Structures are given as C-alpha cells and as structure tokens.
Amino acid sequence: MKIGITGLEASGKTTIFNALTGEKSNYSRSYKELNIASVKVPDWRLDRLYEMFKPKRKINATIEFVDIRGIEGIEESRKGFGTDIISNMKNCDALLPVIRLFEDDTIPHPEGSIDPVRDIDIVNTELMISDMDILESRIKKLEKLVGRKKDEGEKEELDLLLKCKAYFDEEKPLREAEFSPEEEKLLRGFQFLTLKPLIYVLNIDERSISGADTLLIPIKEKFKKKNCEVIVFCGKIEEELSQMEDNDADEFRKEYNIEESAIKKLIRVSYDLLGLISFFTMVEKEVKSWTIPSGTRAKSAAGIIHTDMEKGFIKAEVIPVEELLKSGSISKCREKGILRLEGKDYIVQDGDFITFKFAR
C-alpha cells in the first residue's frame, strides 16, 4: 500500500512524513526528488508468532509513504498541482492532505492565515480540477465517436463519465458517489484523484494538544464522509518522538496525553478506511504478515506471495492466529481439529494463519 502526503506549502507535509517514517529526510524542492520510505506495519500477533516459532526472520507487511510536493503559490498566483505531482498522486492508494493548524509567524502560510476549512476546500478543488481536465477531454472524444457509429461500450463509458461530471457540477468528489462494480472497473483506468480514499491530517499546534480532539469536532463532522477520514496530530511533536527510543517516546506521550503514536493511529485508520486485513505465513524460516483487501479469496491471497502459488493452488490450511498462539503449535491445532482445509474460493479472514499447498 502506498500513501501520498500532499497539501499546501508549509503545512507540515515533510514534518508529518518524518513523524510517520521516523527518518530524517533530505528533501529539497530544487532537486525535485521525492521522499519515499517504507514503514513496517506493527502487529502484536506477528511478534507472538515470532516468539513461538523462533524462525530466522520476522517480516512485517509494509506501508509506503511518499512526500509529494504540494500546491504552490498564493491565491492569485496559485499554481495548483503540477503534472509531476498529479502523476505521483495517481500511483498512490490513498492520499493524505496535511492541513495546517499550527501558528508560527516566522513560517508564512501561503494564503496568509490559518483557516483549515478554506485549505481543505483548496485541496479538494485542485483534486477536482485535475480530474475534470481528464474527464472533459475524454467526454469530448467520446461524444464525437458515439455520434458517428453505434458502439455500446463507448456509449456506456460516456454515460458513466457524464454521471461523474454531474458530481463535479455539484462540487462533490467522486469518492462520495455510488458506482456499480462494473462502473468501478471502467473508472479504474482513469486513476481519478477524487476517487482515492482521503485521510486529512490536521496538523495542530503543540500548544493546543490537550483538548484538541474536542476543539476539532466541528471540522471532523463536516469533512468525515464516505471514503474519507480526519485525524489529528501535532507534526512537530510526533517528529521529535519518532526520533526517540520507543520507551522514552511512550513516557512523553503519557505526559502529553497522546494515546498512540502517529504511525499506529494512521495505520489503524487507513486499514479501516481501505478495508484492509492481515494474514500470516511461516515459510522457510520466515514468519510474515501480509496485507490484503477484505473479501480476498484464498487463491488470490496465495498470488500475493508468489504467482506460482496462485497458479498451482491446491488448498489452504487455515488456523485463526489466536488459536494457534493458544495451542502453541500447528500439529496441536491439527490434533484438536482447529486446523481447517479451505479451497480456492475461501474468503481469507483477518488474523488467519495460512499454509498454502500448491503444485509446483
């Protein structure tokens, strides 16, 4: 999974990137390079499996974060998202616009003042403008084609794009729309930005941490919609904490009354938002966790590990990980009848420990 950090200039994008990835970055605008980092998804179940099997390696599923440049310029000369920024965002599974709430006179806000609702609108508008460009030029092309000859596929596509346009006319992003599975499939190729799940990070001031959650309830309620979440943290403090040893950071969090680290919070929220679950495997001295969309069938899940496993899929031996941890070994689970044999269409559940059997 890949998450793209975006937003206005000086909103704290790079600070949040550092907070999430725990790395000091050397991002510099003049070099046009992007900060990219992979982060291990923490999972206590994987840790316990590692203690139980004592294999050579423990390999966590990972999430990739990209620090994408933001919207530049002030109101009159606002440049919006450049083409390179747009193409970077297209490659992401979800977008994370950082919205500035911290006050600092020495760091000018491009719009001149702190106003989260306005900034959220700016981000949304820019995402919509990018989608509208693609949409309108495709509609024009299709209207010409459909006028000339009868092609059911093109007619269908045109109708769908006009439906999308109606949403934009109401200033609604596509992520709020209802689409059938066939429509979703058709739309996938366009990589529309407003169709991507969105997580707004409200980057609050270190002075307003206590009570921030209640303070922000109105913003949260206004913007927390379908396929969209709002989370709150203080980038600056989280960046500092991410550089510390875990125990020290936990102590500080207690002092600030922060319940969980930025990365844990974000992973929890994004798994929920994107409908992701985890399963576990133990193969050749490696215990691993894997991330898949909920509803994934056993055969496709095998394919995430290796295409050969999917092609030659025979069956899946499944144990709920908590049962395995309780019993202490696969063979005990087999004796007790907890280990189940499942076929290719079995829907993998969160926390399944799976051994795939396949023909090589």
Ligand X SMILES: Nc1nc2c(ncn2[C@@H]2O[C@H](COP(=O)(O)OP(=O)(O)O)[C@@H](O)[C@H]2O)c(=O)[nH]1
Question: Which residues are at the interface with ligand X (CB under 6 A)?
Answer: 9-15, 70, 102, 104, 107, 203, 205-206, 234-236
Nearer to ligand X, 70 or 173 (CB): 70
18 lines the binding site for Mg ion (CB under 5 A) = no
* Minimum distance of ligand X from residue 106's CB (angstroms): 8
- Residue 102 near which of ligand X, Mg ion, none (CB within 5-8 Å, type-dependent): ligand X
* Minimum distance of Mg ion from residue 29's CB (angstroms): 7
Residues 6+ apart with CB under 8 A from 350: 277, 278, 279, 294
DSSP notation for 310-332: HHTEEEEEEEEHHHHHHH-SHHH
288 lines the binding site for Mg ion (CB under 5 A) = no
175 lines the binding site for Mg ion (CB under 5 A) = no
100 lines the binding site for Mg ion (CB under 5 A) = no
* Minimum distance of ligand X from residue 115's CB (angstroms): 16
Nearer to Mg ion, 6 or 14 (CB): 14
Helix 262-274 to helix 13-21 angle, to the nearest 10 degrees?
90
* Minimum distance of Mg ion from residue 13's CB (angstroms): 5
Alpha-carbon distance of 293 to 91, in angstroms, equals 17
- Residue 11 near which of Mg ion, ligand X, none (CB within 5-8 Å, type-dependent): ligand X
Among 14, 242, 261, 270, binds Mg ion (CB under 5 A): 14
Whether 342 contacts 298, CB under 8 Å: yes
Instruction: Give the C-alpha distances (Å, rounded to integers) separating 41 from 131, 187, 226.
Output: 31, 30, 25
* Minimum distance of ligand X from residue 70's CB (angstroms): 6
195 DSSP 8-state letter: G
Nearer to Mg ion, 13 or 265 (CB): 13
Tokens of 332: 């005990």
Nearer to ligand X, 10 or 145 (CB): 10
Whether 287 contacts 53, CB under 8 Å: yes
* Minimum distance of ligand X from residue 127's CB (angstroms): 17
Whether 71 contacts 8, CB under 8 Å: yes
H or E stretch covering 280: strand 276-283
Tokens of 353: 């420990």
297 lines the binding site for Mg ion (CB under 5 A) = no
236 lines the binding site for Mg ion (CB under 5 A) = no
The site that binds Mg ion (CB under 5 A) totals a number of residues, namely 2
Nearer to Mg ion, 13 or 288 (CB): 13
Residues 6+ apart with CB under 8 A from 232: 201, 202, 204, 212, 213, 216, 220
Tell me which residues touch Mg ion (CB under 5 A).
13-14
